[in-house]
Structure 1
Amino acid sequence: QHLTEHQLRDGIMQKAHRGRPLSREQKVRNGRLAKVRYVVEQSFGTLHRKFRYARATYFGLTKVRAQSHLKAMCVNLLKAANRLSVPVAA
């Protein structure tokens, strides 16, 4: 209901259970979701690996949100530098 109200789609992968394997359509859907998930997980991996973003350093929603946005900007700048093939020491 919440998804339809906000014009969103379900992006959760489906899981097989004992005695009930996934159908061909479910496997195809999971494969498509895996491609998107891979791209998103790479960004979070970069945040964790290069910018030590395992948990928030500050208290308070405003400060934590600001820290998250700044680190996300850093990831985007690093991606841009890599696309331009500029050596970056990060």
Structure 2
Amino acid sequence: MTPIVHRQTVHRTLTPFPTGPLAKVSTALRRLLAQIASGLSRQAINRRVVRKLAVMSDRELKDIGLVRQDVEDAGSGVGDASLLLLARRDERRGARAS
């Protein structure tokens, strides 16, 4: 039979966030890092979407209001692909409504 061992919980004192000018720099740095991470994640999502659109037929693209050239332009890497695709789709919808 093995003996029962009781573990003591260790309470650690957390250091508070810095105050003063260092706090402002720390907060700004955290915000910047969050924005960079968000941007990288958005780029990865856009690349996946463009790859999926690239394998769709012209008919499927037409069903969602896009043409092959829109997908090629979005895949060029200039600007935000999702914003470009949405703008092109909305532009065509507006032209049809007029």
Q: TM-score range by the shorter chain?
A: 0.3 to 0.5
- Determine which structure has greater relative contact order: mean sequence separation of CA pairs < 8 Å that are 6+ residues apart, divided by chain length: 2
The TM-score, its normalising length taken from structure 2, stands at: 0.33
Larger Rg: 2
